[in-house]
A and B are shown apart, each in its own frame.
Chain A
Amino acid sequence: NAGVTQTPKFQVLKTGQSMTLQCAQDMNHEYMSWYRQDPGMGLRLIHYSVGAGITDQGEVPNGYNVSRSTTEDFPLRLLSAAPSQTSVYFCASRTHRGTLDEQYFGPGTRLTVT
């Protein structure tokens, strides 16, 4: 199994541009989520999904969209990039919807918005 994969690893955007961060998992996990990690802030939940066709907002959803058309994929879309979205983005998945289960993380995407 490849686990959780994310592309791209690095990205530089200009303010106002849009882009999609890709996330895929091959473990047939029900739950997937996106976090952003900023210095001194830990990980903050952006959006999550408890199964194909079901998504919900996390702690910091503004400026981001998600969809979950398949079990494997959970892309994160930045609609109009802003410098405040400069961060490292992590995708994660776990077997069950509930939290009594370890999460598997992807390697991250480092995004810079100029």
Chain B
Amino acid sequence: SQQGEEDPQALSIQEGENATMNCSYKTSINNLQWYRQNSGRGLVHLILIRSNEREKHSGRLRVTLDTSKKSSSLLITASRAADTASYFCASGGSNYKLTFGKGTLLTVNP
């Protein structure tokens, strides 16, 4: 079964606004990753946060991780039309497998 679940399933905002997506997972992890997928393309890695980290930044991206609640959030600040894509969280445990959620479709309107 899918381990990661993103919320909301779809999000529509105006350019310049911030977008927040949430992810929940079920079992213990050693890291959580976020990926972006533009329509009809492969996934592209955005950011990885380790289980002993609480927050990480990369450009306009901010990721938080709360292992007590088994949840993570991805914040995109000052969104642009080019940020329109699906965003997936992926949880990594002690085995070799990354488990992906079902994704959040973000639409940024110009």
Task: Point out residues on A near B: beta carbons under 8 Å.
Answer: 4, 31, 35, 40-45, 48, 50, 56, 58, 90, 92, 97-108
Contact = CB atoms under 8 A, between A and B. Distances in A.
Contacts of B44: 105
A111 to B, nearest CB: 14
Given A100-B50, A102-B48, A45 B41 contact: no
A88 B88 CA distance: 16
A43 B42 CA distance: 11
A108 B99 contact: no
Interface string B56-79: 000000000000000000000000
Contacts, number: 66
A102 B42 contact: no
Contact of B96 (A42, A44, A48): A48
A105 B33 CA distance: 14
B42 A42 contact: no
Nearest to A50: B96
Given A42-B2, A106-B42, A99 B102 contact: no
12 contacts: A40-B102, A42-B2, A42-B103, A99-B97, A100-B92, A102-B33, A102-B48, A103-B33, A103-B35, A103-B45, A104-B45, A107-B42
B37 to A, nearest CB: 8
Most chain A CB inside 10 Å of its own CB: which residue of B4, B41, B44, B98: B98
Given A42-B103, A102-B48, A58 B97 contact: yes
A42 B100 contact: yes
B23 to A, nearest CB: 11
A99 B42 contact: no
Given A105-B44, A106-B42, A97 B96 contact: yes
Contacts of A102: 33, 45, 48
B31 interface: yes
A38 to B, nearest CB: 10
Nearest to A31: B96
